[in-house]
Amino acid sequence: MISLDFKDIGSKRFINTRTFNPHMSDRLREQYPKMNKFVDFDGGDRRNQQREHKKRFISSGSQIKNNIFSTNAVNGEWSGFIEYLNSDEYTEFVKETLKIDNFELGFEWAVIDDGNDLCPHSDCCKKLGTHLFFFPHLCWRGIGGDFVFLDKTNNTNNPEMVDFCDQKVVKYKDNCSVLFANSERFRNWHGVTKVNSLISRRVFQVIFWSKKDVKCYQI
Residues 164-181: pLDDT tens digits? Answer: 989 999 999 999 999 999
Indicate whether 217 belongs to any domain.
no
pLDDT tens for 107-135 read: 999 999 999 999 998 888 889 999 999 99
Q: How many helices (H) does the chain have, and how many strands (E)? A: 3, 12
pLDDT beneath 70, residues of the chain: 42-50, 61-73, 156, 214-219
- Residues in CB range of 42: below 8 A, 6 or more apart: 66
Distance (Å, whole) CA 201 – CA 108: 14
pLDDT, position 105:
94
Please say whether the dihedral angle defined by the alpha carbons of residues 196, 198, 200 and 201, taken in this order, is positive or negative.
negative
CATH code of residue 104: 2.60.120.620
Phi, psi of 106 (to 5 degrees): -125, 150
Q: What is the pLDDT of residue 102?
A: 94
Q: Are 41 and 91 in contact (CB under 8 A)?
A: no
Task: Give the model's pLDDT for residue 64.
Answer: 53
**pTM (two decimals):** 0.90
d(CA 96, CA 90): 10
Which pLDDT score, from 0 to 100, does residue 54 have? 85
Q: Strand 177-181 to strand 201-210: parallel, antiparallel, or no bridges (unpaired)?
A: unpaired
Examine residue 1 and state whether it is found in any structural domain, yes or no. no
CA 184 to chain centre: 19
Total domains in the chain come to 1
Segments forming the whole domain that contains residue 150: 7-210
- Is 218 among the domain residues? no
